[in-house]
């Protein structure tokens, strides 16, 4: 909570770089990857706005991360949640 408060203060002081500060909607790597994929689809995997994935400090392709870490049923559930 103290981190959220501190970042929120910074955002209000310098609103050019931080648009909004709030608690994350999705907690965990798999959940965040599923949410991104549910929203962006296959085209989103190649987007310049696509997230970078590090696993144990090493870069991993987004496509491989989703295939390895996100169960297909989670993507189906997330498509319902984000629509």
Lowest-confidence pick of 18-27, 54-63, 64-73, 74-83: 18-27
| φ, ψ (nearest 5 deg) of residue 54 | -115, 130
* Structural domain boundaries enclosing 76: 2-82
| φ, ψ (nearest 5 deg) of residue 60 | -140, 140
User: For the chain, how many structural domains are there in total?
Assistant: 1
Distance CA 44, CA 63 (A): 10
pTM score above 0.85: no
pLDDT of residue 71: 95
pLDDT of residue 17: 62
- Each residue's pLDDT tens digit, 23-60: 778 889 999 999 999 999 989 998 988 989 998 899 99
CB 50 within 8 A of CB 44: yes
Distance CA 46, CA 59 (A): 15
């Amino acid at each position: 909570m103290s981190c959220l408060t501190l970042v929120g203060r910074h955002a209000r002081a310098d609103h050019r770089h931080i648009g909004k500060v709030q608690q994350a909607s999705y907690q965990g790597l798999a959940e965040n990857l599923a949410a991104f994929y549910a929203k962006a689809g296959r085209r989103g995997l190649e987007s310049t706005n696509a997230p970078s994935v590090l696993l144990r400090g090493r870069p991993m392709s987004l496509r491989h991360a989703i295939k390895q870490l996100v169960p297909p049923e989670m993507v189906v559930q997330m498509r319902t949640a984000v629509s």
